[in-house]
Amino acid sequence: MPDVTVSITFDLISPFKNNQNYQFFEGVVNISATATNEKKVYSVVGQEELGAFPLLTKEEAGQAIEKAKQAQKYWEEEEVYKRAEILHAWADKLLENQAQIGDMIMKEVGKNKSSAWKEVARTADLIRYTAEEGCRIHGDLLRGDSFKGGSSNKIAMAERAPRGVILAISPFNYPVNLAASKIAPALISGNAVIFKPASQGTLSGKLMIDALLETELPADVVHCVTGKGSEIGDYLVTHPDISMITFTGSTEVGQSISEKAKMIPVVLELGGKDPAIVLKNADLDLAASQIVSGAFSYSGQRCTAIKRVLVDNAVADELTSKIKKKVDELTVGNPEEEAAVTPLIDEKAADFVQGLIDDALENGASLVTGNQREENLIYPTLLDNVTPGMKVAYEEPFGPVLPIIRVSDEADFVELANESEYGLQASIFTNNVQTAMNIGSKLNVGSVQLNAKTERGPDHFPFIGSKNSGLGAQGIRRSIESMTRDKLFIMNV
Ligand code: G3H
């Protein structure tokens, strides 16, 4: 190592350092923008008018991107600890407004009240961890003489640099949490954000952004861009000033984004068909309670919901009866009254789920319980003797229907589990860890859960989907990594 002392002084052009008030960029940051058209949002239950959001034109969306691009230049120069302080302040504001935001989530996407309020608290925790994790992102220092023929005069300092403007597209089912899980890592690592919420979920997302704008976040670093996907979707995805896209939603849209986004990184969290594999030596009470919670919470409208049960024939009757008992105990109805199973997001979603149930019954599946419908409310439905050829065995319902597939040969578990276009997660229920490891190692999924339901959290765990379930990885640290790139400063001394 050469004997060298380096002293570098950075001349930061920072709004914070200059103690100015971020009046660099004209225009508004929030979603009121200048749009003339708007779309009204109604509650899932009761069709109460909750508010409206503007339908931006391409030109208006383009203006937001331009402002974000300019603001990012200042934001990336801000000290990381200051960015972290802003994120902590955001988390504080979210908790201060937990009731208002939680109630909006409950009404706008039909999630029961306690889950909706928990989503806000979980998001505050996620933001805080992200702020702290961002302060612990370090680069590398590499010596040139550790490579044959390299030079001892060279030292490379590799840092993680922000990518620029991140396009964050969030789904309806976690309108706050799955938005913040994209926005917070982008911000802590010095990026600006164009946030495109799902239409049903926009008002909850807006309240979350309002909380962020109450902090010292400089103007224009985050823009909430709302509108019809058909009008501005492709425009956003293909815009030359978007440096990276992070999306959660359907596989169909995810695939389209991945095809259209050229030469920029894309992280996708898409659909799933997570199996619960129940072996004959499993604790069946534990399996039944985890399966019911995993399959039916938020009415199955989760990418990580358990969407099929593969059970050893030897214990299938017993497991089915335990699952049925628990399904019959689920409360059904209004999110405000804490029902476990609530109406689906819209009629199209309910029609789709009903179609899967009808198809299975027409093709020989046995109805164990459920198959009742009141408008968009589908009662939790359990189907037994489902065979791999039935649609409900391989399509993602995103609703409260659970097929049971009986397996007579243990060797078939892996093949059946992998017989899916999806590869998000899988659960294995057994009292034999070695067997679980053997099966788990052969499953083509992002994560395997032993003796527990499939789920994303805790939110600092890597969250990965293989096959049509996703691309890249999320989870707080992985998200920060995906939103930054290596940048080298090579000292030649
Ligand atoms: O819907 C997709 C979400 O990432 C699922 O998250 O497992 O915490 O419900 P969750």
Give, using CA atoms, the residue closest to atom 8 of ligand 1. 456
User: What's the whole-number mean pLDDT along residues 102-110?
Assistant: 98
State the distance from the centre of ligand 1 to the C-alpha of 288, rounded, in angstroms: 20
State the distance from the centre of ligand 1 to the C-alpha of 317, rounded, in angstroms: 30
Residues 227 and 281 in one domain: no
The backbone torsions φ and ψ at residue 160, rounded to the nearest 5 degrees and listed phi first, read: -95, 110
- Residue 453 within a domain: yes
Indicate if 224 belongs to the active site: no
- Residue 5 within a domain: no
Among 76, 119, 269, 455, the active-site one is: 269
Q: Report whether pLDDT(420) > 50.
A: yes
pLDDT of res. 6: 36
- For 348, the domain range is 274-458
- Residue 6 within a domain: no
For the chain, how many structural domains are there in total? 2
pLDDT of res. 353: 98
Residues 300 and 414 in one domain: yes
Tens digits of residue pLDDT in 116-132: 999 999 999 999 999 99
Among 303, 395, 396, 455, the active-site one is: 303
Torsion of CA 223, 31, 471, 349, to 10 degrees: 180
Distance CA 435, CA 442 (A): 11
Alpha helices in 148-274 (DSSP H): 177-188, 202-213, 234-237, 251-260
Tens digits of residue pLDDT in 205-264: 999 999 999 999 999 999 999 999 999 999 999 999 999 999 999 999 999 999 999 899
Indicate if 269 belongs to the active site: yes
- H/E run at residue 471: strand 470-471
pLDDT of res. 280: 96
Residues 318 and 351 in one domain: yes
pLDDT of res. 7: 35
CA 14 from chain centre, in angstroms, equals: 32
Residues 208 and 248 in one domain: yes
User: What's the whole-number mean pLDDT along residues 310-324?
Assistant: 98
Residues 250 and 330 in one domain: no
- Residue 457 contacts residue 314 (beta carbons within 8 Å): no
Q: What is the mean pLDDT of the chain?
A: 93
Q: Report whether pLDDT(320) > 90.
A: yes
pLDDT of res. 36: 61
pLDDT of res. 410: 83
457 lines ligand 1 (CB under 6 A): yes
Number of Cβ within a 10 Å radius of residue 470:
26
Give the Å distances, CA to CA, from 135 to 142, 149, 313, 429: 21, 36, 51, 38
173 lines ligand 1 (CB under 6 A): yes
Residue to substitute in 119, 120, 174, 398 for testing ligand 1 pocket (most ligand atoms within 8 angstroms of CB) = 174
Residues 144 and 265 in one domain: yes
CATH number for the domain harbouring residue 329: 3.40.309.10
Distance CA 54, CA 17 (A): 35
- Residue 46 within a domain: yes
State the distance from the centre of ligand 1 to the C-alpha of 390, rounded, in angstroms: 25
- Residue 7 within a domain: no
Residue 240, C-beta contacts closer than 8 angstroms, at least 6 positions apart: none
407 lines ligand 1 (CB under 6 A): no
CATH number for the domain harbouring residue 39: 3.40.605.10
Q: Report whether pLDDT(28) > 90.
A: no
Residues 254 and 280 in one domain: no
- Residue 171 contacts residue 229 (beta carbons within 8 Å): no
Residues 61 and 177 in one domain: yes
What burial letters (b/e) apply to 420-442, b meaning 16+ CB within 10 Å? bebbbbbbbbbeeeeebeebbee
User: What's the whole-number mean pLDDT along residues 435-456?
Assistant: 98
To the nearest 5 percent, what fractions of the chain are helix, strand and coil?
40, 20, 40
Tens digits of residue pLDDT in 43-89: 999 999 999 999 999 999 999 999 999 999 999 999 999 999 999 99
Coil, strand or helix: which one is 331?
coil
Q: Report whether pLDDT(19) > 50.
A: no
State the distance from the centre of ligand 1 to the C-alpha of 51, rounded, in angstroms: 26
Torsion of CA 321, 377, 345, 332, to 10 degrees: -60
Residues 324 and 424 in one domain: yes
User: What's the whole-number mean pLDDT along residues 282-311?
Assistant: 98
User: What's the whole-number mean pLDDT along residues 28-56?
Assistant: 80
User: What's the whole-number mean pLDDT along residues 371-391?
Assistant: 98
Tens digits of residue pLDDT in 456-467: 999 999 999 999
- Residue 465 within a domain: no
Give, using CA atoms, the residue closest to atom 2 of ligand 1. 303
Question: Look-up: residue for tokens 């499993």?
Answer: 282
Residue to substitute in 125, 172, 173 for testing ligand 1 pocket (most ligand atoms within 8 angstroms of CB) = 173
Residues 296 and 263 in one domain: no
170 lines ligand 1 (CB under 6 A): no
Enter the tokens of residue 84: 């972290």
Residue to substitute in 296, 456, 464 for testing ligand 1 pocket (most ligand atoms within 8 angstroms of CB) = 456
Number of Cβ within a 10 Å radius of residue 317:
12
Number of Cβ within a 10 Å radius of residue 179:
28
- Residue 276 contacts residue 308 (beta carbons within 8 Å): yes
Which amino acid makes up residue 344?
L
Q: Report whether pLDDT(1) > 50.
A: no
pTM of the model as a whole: 0.93
Residues 66 and 183 in one domain: yes
Residue 6 class from Cβ within 10 Å (0-12 exposed, 13-18 middle, 19+ buried)? Answer: exposed
pLDDT of res. 411: 87
Q: What percent of the chain has pLDDT over 70?
A: 93
- Residue 463 within a domain: no
Residues 299 and 376 in one domain: yes
- Residue 113 within a domain: yes
